Amino acid sequence: MKRLIWIGILVPSLLQAQRLHLNLFGGFSNYSGDLQSKPFTLDQSYASFGLGAQYDLTPKFSLLTNFNYIHVGAADQFNKASLVPRNLSFQTDIYEWNALAEYNFFDLSRSRVTPYVFAGLGIFHFDPYAYDSLGNRVYLHPLSTEGEGLQQYPDQKPYNLFQVAIPFGGGVKFRISEGVVIAYEVNFRKLFTDYLDDVSTRYVDQTILLNARGPQAVEMAYRGGEVKNGNPVYPPDGTKRGGSEYKDWYYTSGIRISIAINSKKDPYYGRGSIECPKTP
């Protein structure tokens, strides 16, 4: 009986504190890895877009879920000078779903501005590709450019195109009207794969790769001969191609617009004005 009484008291108060938003995101995306060594840069950026929902548990704490389209890519021609002769490149579309917990430092019913942070869990799909010397798009995963899946290299397992990520970041929110909040945010994704760019370990034997995956695999695994004054000789088996000690990352930065679906029914949104501080 006492449990039912407590449920009757708590549930209405919890429901009053729960508010739903539609979130729209647009901005830039980039990655950090073997073809882009800078931890954060706008160089070689692409566009990213997202759509999601936000559920306010309290004025400061929210749960979010989002679906994002993200495009990233990089090329050695813009990389460190020592890596330009390698002449590798990649691009990939990323389709990501995530679930996040978010914390506002200030109550937006009393302040127009607040910094915020978030973190959570995501699942994404990618499929790296590059363009050959004739300008044709070539998907790299089936080519086993580093011997993935070949019996001669049992330690090189094929990488999965579906992966888990840990998104986290933060930003600043501005409440501009009743039920509408605009934010600038940066969202990093810690990954558990080093093959977002199809570059991780070492070159494999040219003949083995040729016999297993064909001439296109050899062409896309080493492209130094395409560079002016570059070395056309394919590197020996075991020569370093990438750095597997650090996993790849991707990240986005841009504008999020949050539209409160039930703002007219909820005094939390201030009906276009900020509430005065409540007296104790």
State the pLDDT at residue 178: 80
The verdict on residue 9 lying in a domain is no
pTM confidence score: 0.87
The answer to whether 146 and 221 are in contact (CB under 8 A) is yes
State the pLDDT at residue 13: 44
The verdict on residue 59 lying in a domain is yes
> Which amino acid, 257?
I
Total length of the chain: 280
Distance CA(82)–CA(62), nearest Å, equals 46
State the pLDDT at residue 263: 52
* Structural domain boundaries, residue 134: 18-270
Report the CATH number that the domain containing residue 114 is assigned in CATH.
2.40.160.20
The verdict on residue 37 lying in a domain is yes
Splitting the chain (280 residues) into consecutive groups of 10 residues, what average pLDDT does each group show? Answer: 51 54 97 90 93 94 98 94 91 98 94 96 98 96 97 95 98 92 97 97 97 97 90 94 90 96 56 46
> What's the domain count of the chain?
1
State the pLDDT at residue 14: 44
Q: How many CB atoms lie within 10 A of CB 92?
A: 24
Instruction: Give the residue among 218, 174, 164, 225 at the shortest CA–CA distance from 196.
Output: 164
Bridge partners, 184 (sequence order): 172, 255
The verdict on residue 99 lying in a domain is yes
The verdict on residue 228 lying in a domain is yes
- The CA angle 155-221-140, to the nearest 5 degrees, is 80
The verdict on residue 2 lying in a domain is no
State the pLDDT at residue 265: 52
Bridge partners, 181 (sequence order): 175, 258
